[in-house]
Structure 1
Amino acid sequence: MAYPGPDYICHAGEEKVGETLANASRNRVGKVVAKALVEAAQISVGIIQRQPALATKVSILGERIRALNTAIEKVEKQVEDLFGKLPYNPKDFPAGDIPSLATLISEIEDIHRFPTLKQFLSHFGWCPGSFQTGSYRLEHPRMSHAGNKYVRRLTWMLSIVAIRTISPYRAYFQRRVKAGKAKMHIIVAVGRKLLSVFYAILKRGIPYNPDWEVKQPCCPGKVLTSIY
């Protein structure tokens, strides 16, 4: 840990603290956070007498974090090596890095065990759950809780990434918001479209094409989809 206490942070200054933060966070945080840390360290009170003990404790925590980061990097490298042996190119998919795509593909296993898109979506729990009692049936049921909750969370995050970075998905999101639809419901719809595209890619073995259109129902031989 480079700066295990307020005194260390004040002595280092904004520039060095910013460089450390940028390196540790892969450039996600930097000068702005460094400035806030230095300012907070300068006004810290009631902690000077315990400074050595605090520094030791923070250093130990820092070493643990560093060890975890090293382990994560090692696992990610192994995942990349294994993914490289698969007949897929990360660029063939509309969204997701190698760890994300590897997670989805490992959950799917063999795409051919899902004859239809509906079965594929049901496996991920990305479909409405059924609720019926007697003759009453809920008109707008909530999402099913079936499937791997971590993969559902990953799909949710990929949907947000797609809305932010992929023009057709962003346009679809903005169009639905303008129509008065709830944003959470739109994200669910985007997730369904993403999974539909993944299904089409894996079924047909061809890269993502934003111009795909729905011309007929999905089937093993011809799988077409669209973000519209």
Structure 2
Amino acid sequence: MRALEKQIKVLDKQIEQIFAVLPNTLTSVPGIGKVYSAGIIAEIGDVNRFQSQASVAKYAGLVWKQHQSGEFEAQNTRLIKSGNRFLRYYLLEAANSVRRCDSEFRRYYDLKYKQVNKYQHKRALALTARKLVRLVFRLLKEGRNYIPPEG
């Protein structure tokens, strides 16, 4: 176990060294470190190939199935199973980290957590990750740093 932990530390340091050369706007978000940022950027690739943040979310698998018939539309639906599972993992982990460090994301997570009685954490985390996708897309598209909201 110690050998694996040492290898992880070595890999993390190598990622940080390689990533120091690239311009990076995602590390300006509190809670997103160099490893999460590197994973997100590596999985997204060129952000200009996506038309909108919704297409990035669909690529990551952070959209919900549609279940409807006539006027009826179901409220409880599941996440789609397709999508880039590695990008989904990085976004969910980053969202969990960001919600602990940023008051805006913490408020949003808490609001979504209280809305339902079942699968509270999973649902709130997926919705927070969806919110994070919008932020990531904007930061990468415009190439600017994150400025946290005041208050």
TM class by smaller structure: 0.7 to 0.9
Identity fraction in percent = 25
Which of 44, 69, 78 matches 1:142?
78
- Could you state the TM-score of these two structures normalised by the residue count of structure 2? 0.80
Gaps of 5+ in 2: none
Name the CA distance, whole Å, in 2 between partners of 1:195 and 1:76.
23
Written as runs of structure 1 = structure 2, the 5 A alignment for 1:39-54 is none
Match for residue 192 of structure 1 among 124, 130, 133: 130
Higher-Rg member (1/2):
1
Q: Bigger relative contact order, structure 1 or 2, given CA contacts below 8 A and separation 6+? A: 2
Coordinate RMSD, CA, aligned:
2.6
Shift of 1:131: 5.1
Residues 114-166 of structure 1: CA distance to partner in whole angstroms, max 9, x if unpaired? 0111111111011113457x879863431112222233233222222222221
Stretches of structure 1 that go unaligned for 5 or more consecutive residues are: 1-64, 213-228
Contact 1:114 1:120 in 2 (8 A): yes
2:1 is the alignment partner of 1:83: no
Q: What residue identity is the alignment partner of 1:99?
A: V
Matches for 1:1-228 after TM superposition, within 5 Å: 65-89=1-25, 91-130=27-66, 139-140=74-75, 141-178=77-114, 180-182=115-117, 183=120, 184-211=122-149
4+ residue runs of structure 1 moved beyond 3 angstroms? 134-138, 175-178
Query: Aligned pair count?
Result: 146
Q: Deviations over 1:178-198 (max 9, x none)?
A: 5x3353322221111111101
Q: 1:169 Cα shift?
A: 1.4
Normalising by structure 1, report the TM-score. 0.56
